[in-house]
Amino acid sequence: MADTTSGAAKKRLTFADVVPGASTAKAGKLAGNSYVPEIATVVEIIQETPTIKTFRMRFDDPAVMESFSFAPGQVGQLGVFGVGESTFAITSKPSEKEFIQFSVMRAGEVTQALHKLSVGDKVGIRAPMGCGFPMDAWKGKKILFVMGGIGSAALKATIEYCLEHRADYQGVNILYGATHPTNFTYQYDIDEWQKREDIDLTLTIDRECDGWQCDVGMVPAVLERMNPDPANTIAILCGPPIMIKFALISFMKLGFTPEQTYTTLEKRMKCGIGICGRCNVGPKYVCVDGPVFSMAELNELPDEL
Amino acid sequence: MASKYLKSEQLPAFLESLAKNARVVAPFKRDGVTQYEPWQSGKDVELDVLLAKQSPKEYVFLQTETYLKFGYEMAPVPEGAEGEDAVPYETVKVDPQNEAPKQVIFGLRPCDVRGFVQMDQVFGGYGGFYFDPLYNARREATTLLAVTCREPRSTCFCTSVGGCPSSREGADVLFTQIEGGFFVEPITDKGEAIAEAAGAALTDPTDTQATEANEAKLASATKVDPAFDLEGVRDALHDNIADKRWADLAMRCVSCGTCTYVCPSCYCFSINDSIVETKGDRYRCWDNCFNPVYTEETSGHNPRAKKMNRFRNRFSHKFWYYPDKYDSLLCSGCGRCIANCPTRIDIREVIRVMGAPKEAPAASGAVAASAAAAAAVAAAADTTTEGKEA
């Protein structure tokens, strides 16, 4: 607080101080005008569930497409010109060089406009944004993914990353819950994951359903039945707020510490670059300080998730 | 450059000379309301009203700013194309906007200037964050000519947040009203350029005038009542986060957001699109964190659905969240939020109550008014050389 009482002016950066093209950002987007989206073309649309579509897009500028890279857990702003932008998790493989992918649940204005797109239509993308998961620091650990519904989108890239670098991690364990068998996203990947012996996959649906072979029950209850060993494990959690709330209680029961339990937050965002002030939780901005947080970090923040 | 003297009668000529190279913005009174407006020959600048209804922040951080124009159009079919390539398709063209005309703002008060200094941290890439090209283009094209406050209001508390009615912080030139005119102190290179361009309108001041200006500064500082002790406020807000007195303080708030619009340092904004047929704008506009939809998500989930949460967020942002990120405060003590609140919510009271250490009683005005004022003037004088590097 000493600094705040002095009233001394901090030196203001000017255009002269900002080297064009150099990164001034913590989160790694280039300087220049971060508000201006890159134009991209929809190249493929996958209907995942009755309300979720996956969009694959290619940047119109080949140089942008080529240089595009992101860390698992990072997000982007995807927008339809004339309707607006919204924040979505990037769901392509981090190694994917041909396209960038987002999975979108039809809910509000922007997502409805996105759902009306056809292959060949133009969108605007500002990505990547935020900080990803500390994948390097987790080498040698078991990674336990717990996700519900559209929460799978936020963890998709991270799962893909773990599978591509499978030797770096001691184990990959996925618990995925949905309300109904038709509500699982990435069914084509699930089929692959089920065949692999180096992934421990558990699927669950909320209520009994004809022809369903896997678990039945809410994610937190199934998690407790699974009884994972917290030793040398990182748990990553994403799903609807009610699932997160109860899954966290289960994790604490199972002996997981807040330091080894991670989640990724979503907030209503506008600028995505830590300026507009909308996505704050206390002194943290979800767009630049997150969206990835450990529970230990979240416990320090006001109860405004 | 040495200090100068400007005769009151010379003020219109001085502004006229500025208007040759830039848009001049100054406070004017119309229908009883003082607002910053573009100056025109023949308009009388209003300096007797201490604070305009709003600070001039809207001239740098626009209420509504279109930063992108876009249009859908049909892509031309390449000559000689056949089959699939010959099918016309729709494409989109974007055109980023960032116009920043040169402007001079005259007559703003040191607290208004400090509002810019505080926003500079947010938009200026301070601490490794993003450098905002829209704000900074305007900010760099703007020269700030501040005027020392003569008669601080009962709602003023700049000295409690490290400011002073004659602070030079962030100003390019400081004007102080004395007998028959202004004592003029160019502070930055931009300010010196203005003084040089003014030529004969500015004369050398006498020693008496310099003394008179100093006395005027000291006198005005003594008229600002200490509001609270800033020491420990940040930690107290942190410790009091779950305190139920937040709900008591927020009870009479009507979530109108007037405080955010009149605040010289509130900067939160929204981004929206508008489109007519094929052509549209993407613009940003001032937003208001008291509006319940500010944080409402598509699912209906709202992290700050309760008024108390929104209320707590605004004050904590100014005295805790912002300081954590930018090592400064997001309040310059102008008191506009106090004067304009329809339910008389007083930021000083909020900080006295919630910014006091948990166990201790609410802070009293322990610091003697005159001592605080003298210290503030001394601190302001210290910044004389610092401003040069700007």
pLDDT band for position B60 (cuts 50, 70, 90): very high
Percent of residues, chain B, with pLDDT higher than 90: 75
Say how many C-beta atoms besides its own lie within 10 A of residue B319's C-beta. 27
Among A10, A29, A79, the residue with its CB nearest the CB of B121 is: A10
Query: Which of A1, A36, A273 faces B96 most closely, judged by CB atoms?
Result: A36
Range name among A26-30, A63-67, B138-142 with the lowest pLDDT average: A26-30
Give a three-class secondary structure readout of A284-305. Answer: EECCCCCEEEEHHHHHCCCCCC
Q: What is the pLDDT of residues B180-239, one digit of tens each?
A: 999 999 999 999 999 998 888 899 999 999 999 999 999 999 999 999 999 999 999 999
Question: What kind and span of H or E run contains B355?
Answer: none
pLDDT band per the 50, 70, 90 thresholds, residue B249: very high
Backbone angles phi, psi at B273, to 5 degrees: -110, 145
Mean pLDDT over B242-252 rounds to 93
How far from the centroid of its chain's Cα atoms is residue B132's Cα? 16
> A65-74, pLDDT tens digit by residue?
998 999 999 9
**Residue B385 predicted with pLDDT over 70:** no
pLDDT grade, residue A28 (50/70/90)? very low
Number of neighbouring beta carbons within 10 Å of residue A132: 22
Same topology, domains A7-15+34-129 and A136-264? Answer is no
For residue B361, pLDDT over 80 is answered with no
Distance between CA atoms of B40 and B26, rounded to whole angstroms?
A: 10
For A60, other C-beta atoms within 10 Å of its C-beta total: 14
- The CATH topology of domain A136-264 is Rossmann fold (3.40.50)
* pLDDT of the residue at B37: 95
pLDDT band (50, 70, 90) for residue A304? confident
Work out the minimum CA distance from A3 to partner chain B, whole angstroms.
6
Angle between helices B133-140 and B110-123 (to 10 degrees): 140
Output the pLDDT for position A5: 36
pLDDT of B77 reads: 84
The answer to whether residue B367 scores a pLDDT higher than 50 is: no
Distances (CA, A) of A92 to A76, A129, A173, A177: 12, 15, 20, 21
Q: From B289, which residue of chain A is nearest by alpha-carbon distance?
A: A278
Q: How many CB pairs under 8 A join A and B?
A: 203
What spatial distance separates the first Cα and last Cα of chain A, rounded to whole Å? 27
Give the best residue of B67, B68, B92 to mutate against chain A (max A CB count within 10 A).
B92
Q: Where residue B88 falls among pLDDT bands split at 50, 70, 90?
A: confident
Instruction: Provide, as residue numbers in chain B, all residues whose Cβ is less than 8 Å from the Cβ of A278.
Output: 268, 270, 287, 294-295
Chain A residues in contact with B174 (beta carbon < 8 A) = none
Question: What are the Cα distances from residue A130, in Å, to A28, A87, A270, B23, B368?
Answer: 8, 11, 13, 39, 47
Reference A10, options B239, B2, B11, B117; nearest CA is B117
* Residue B373: per-residue pLDDT: 56
pLDDT at A24 over 80: no
* pLDDT at B362 exceeding the cut of 60: no
pLDDT at A13: 60
Tokens of residue B117, six digits: 């200094």
Nearest to A35 among B68, B92, B328 (CB): B68
* Residue-wise pLDDT tens digits, B257-307: 999 999 999 999 999 999 999 999 999 999 999 999 999 988 888 999 999
Q: Which residues of B touch A119 (CB under 8 A)?
A: none
Interface contact flag, A5 B162, Cβ < 8 Å: yes
pLDDT for residue A31: 47
What's the whole-number average pLDDT of chain A? 88
- Contact (CB<8Å) A275/B90: no
> Which phi and psi angles does A235 have, rounded to 5°?
-105, 130
Query: How confident is the model at residue B81, as a pLDDT?
Result: 83
CB distance B287 to B64 below 8 Å:
no
Residue B124 binned pLDDT confidence (cut-offs 50, 70, 90): confident
Residues in B 8-37 with any Cβ partner in A closer than 8 A: none
Residues in chain A with CB shorter than 8 Å from the CB of B280 are 81-82
pLDDT value of residue A18: 57
CATH of domain A7-15+34-129: 2.40.30.10
User: Is some CB atom of chain B closer than 8 A to the CB atom of A10?
Assistant: yes
Nearest residue, CB atoms, B70 vs list A3, A10, A81: A81
Distances (CA, A) of A64 to A17, A59, B338: 25, 6, 49
Tell me which residue in B91, B295, B389 faces A122 most closely, judged by beta carbons. B91
- Each domain of chain A, given as residue ranges in start order, spans 7-15+34-129, 136-264
Best CA proximity match to B274, nearest among B70, B130, B95: B70
Q: What is the pLDDT of residue A303?
A: 86
Answer whether B294 touches A (CB < 8 Å): yes
Q: What is the pLDDT of residues A163-218, one digit of tens each?
A: 999 999 999 999 999 999 999 999 999 999 999 999 999 999 999 988 898 999 99
The CA distance from A139 to the nearest CA of chain B, in Å, is 28
Q: Give the chain A residue nearest B267 (alpha carbons).
A: A276
Q: Is the pLDDT of residue B360 over 70?
A: no
The answer to whether residue A10 scores a pLDDT higher than 60 is: no
Q: What's the pLDDT at B336?
A: 96
pLDDT tier, B371 (very low <50, low <70, confident <90, very high otherwise): low
**How far is the alpha carbon of B263 from chain A, nearest alpha carbon, in Å?**
15
The mean pLDDT value for B364-369 works out to: 46
Secondary structure string (H, E, C) spanning chain A: CHHHHHCCCCCCCCHHHCCCCCCCCCCCCCCCCCCCCEEEEEEEEEECCCCEEEEEEEECCHHHHHHCCCCCCCEEEEEECCCEEEEEEECCCCCCCCCEEEEEECCCHHHHHHHCCCCCCEEEEEEEECECCCCCCCCCCEEEEEEECCHHHHHHHHHHHHHHCHHHCCEEEEEEEECCHHHCCCHHHHHHHHHCCCCEEEEEECCCCCCCCCEECCHHHHHHHHCCCCCCEEEEEECCHHHHHHHHHHHHHCCCCHHHEEEECCCCCCCCCCCCCCCEECCEECCCCCEEEEHHHHHCCCCCC
Of A14, A34, A288, the CB nearest to B136: A14
Distance, in Å, from the CA atom of B1 to the CA atom of B196, rounded to the nearest integer, reads 9
